[in-house]
Amino acid sequence: MSCPPGTPATLALERLCWGDGILHPVTLRLGAGRVLAVLGANGAGKSTLLRLIYRYNHPQAGRVLVDGDDIHRLPARRVAQRIAAVLQEQPTDLALTVAEIVALGRAPHRRGFAGPSARDLHLVDHALERLLLQDFAHRAFGTLSGGERQRVMVARALAQEPGLIVLDEPTNHLDIRHQLEVLRLVRDLGVTVVASLHDLNLVHGFADDVLVLAEGHPLAFGPVDAVLTPDLIARAFGVVATRRGTARFDFSLPDSVQKEHIA
Ligand SMILES: Nc1ncnc2c1ncn2[C@@H]1O[C@H](COP(=O)(O)OP(=O)(O)OP(=O)(O)O)[C@@H](O)[C@H]1O
């Protein structure tokens, strides 16, 4: 795990399980730079799986290998240098500014009690800029809207320079424009990504691969088009899926998106 910061990581899950039948063994391999969407109905086990990958929970059995190393046997700091997590719920009572939250992403890379380096400051500014948050830099985090807070947490993950970024429902709270923006940004980072998503229509154009869970069991894993069939969707979600309905819209960003229009 001694790769330069930001180098895309490989991920392997080996018969990974948790809880008393909450997550049944999951085995998969994800190449460096691949984007994986984790799908499934409410309670299917998506967040449970992600918590094991970003080392919040310890597996009941099985292993999570990042760059070939079992992350549950490594020091937390080394793992934090390679894996960033963007979670569904963010605390709103933090008495920190947006810039201070984003700067927390640099903590795993700092030595001892040293203050931020010029590079740390540059990376924080860069992350604020990428998420169009410059105007919010000195605002208290708790005063932001849900969508603005979500973008701050993505900026913090970006400043962390991870090789693997894990996102639990990253489009939660975001309007359609910001959903597309955040997914495109995450995809364009060039690192390995694991993200749980609820909107199946957002998977195309974002993910390379999907893992579908149902009641804690892995139903299917593989490239998006091969896996996301109407039959599979019916089994995972209990709905009838048709490829196109008359009431369906396809959304994409205009070619000429100007950054100043996004914030
Ligand atoms: N610590 C825990 N103790 C007991 N049960 C748990 C625990 N954590 C999760 N569960 C249960 O495991 C199941 C899977 O939960 P999980 O949060 O992983 O689902 P999810 O797919 O992320 O759901 P959602 O889409 O609703 O967020 C649920 O039935 C949940 O109640």
Structural domains of the chain sorted by starting position, each given as residue range(s) with its CATH number in brackets: 11-90+163-261 (3.40.50.300)
What pairing do the DSSP bridges indicate for beta strands 164-168 and 192-196? Answer: parallel
Residue 254 alpha carbon to ligand 1 centre in Å: 37
Per-residue pLDDT in tens (0 to 9) along the chain, 263 residues: 567 888 999 999 999 999 988 999 999 999 999 999 999 999 999 999 999 999 999 999 999 999 999 999 999 999 999 999 998 777 666 789 999 999 999 988 887 777 888 899 999 999 999 988 999 999 999 898 888 888 899 999 999 999 999 999 988 878 888 888 889 889 988 899 999 999 888 998 899 999 999 999 999 999 998 999 888 998 998 888 877 655 555 666 777 654 444 43
| Ligand 1 atom closest to the CA of 50, numbered from 1 | 18
Residue 176 alpha carbon to ligand 1 centre in Å: 26
Task: Indicate whether residue 211 lines ligand 1 (CB < 6 A).
Answer: no
Q: Which of 26, 48, 52 best tests ligand 1's pocket when mutated (most atoms within 8 Å of CB)? A: 48
Residue 44 alpha carbon to ligand 1 centre in Å: 7
In order, the DSSP letters of 12-45 are EEEEEEETTTTEEEEEEEE-TT-EEEEE-STTSS
CA distance 145 to 239: 33
Phi and psi at residue 45, to the nearest 5°? 115, 10
The pTM of the full predicted model, rounded to 2 decimals, is 0.90
| Ligand 1 atom closest to the CA of 213, numbered from 1 | 21
Task: Indicate whether residue 170 lines ligand 1 (CB < 6 A).
Answer: no
DSSP-derived 3-state class of residue 68 = coil
Task: Indicate whether residue 171 lines ligand 1 (CB < 6 A).
Answer: no
Task: Indicate whether residue 217 lines ligand 1 (CB < 6 A).
Answer: no
CA distance 107 to 249: 42
Residue 215 alpha carbon to ligand 1 centre in Å: 10
Tell me the Cα Rg of the chain: 18
CA distance 35 to 157: 16
Nearest CA to ligand 1 atom 31: 43
**Secondary structure of 44-64 in HEC code, one letter for each residue:** CCHHHHHHHHCCCCCCCEEEE
pLDDT of residue 263: 35
Per the CB < 8 A criterion, the answer to whether 185 and 197 are in contact is: no
pLDDT of residue 262: 40
Nearest CA to ligand 1 atom 17: 47
CA distance 163 to 32: 8
Residue 50 alpha carbon to ligand 1 centre in Å: 11
Start-to-end CA distance of the chain, whole Å, equals 36
Nearest CA to ligand 1 atom 27: 42
pLDDT of residue 112: 72
Nearest CA to ligand 1 atom 3: 19
What ipTM, to 2 d.p.? 0.97
| Ligand 1 atom closest to the CA of 22, numbered from 1 | 12
E strand spans, 198-262 = 209-214, 217-223
Task: Indicate whether residue 236 lines ligand 1 (CB < 6 A).
Answer: no
Question: What secondary structure letter does DSSP report for 117?
Answer: -
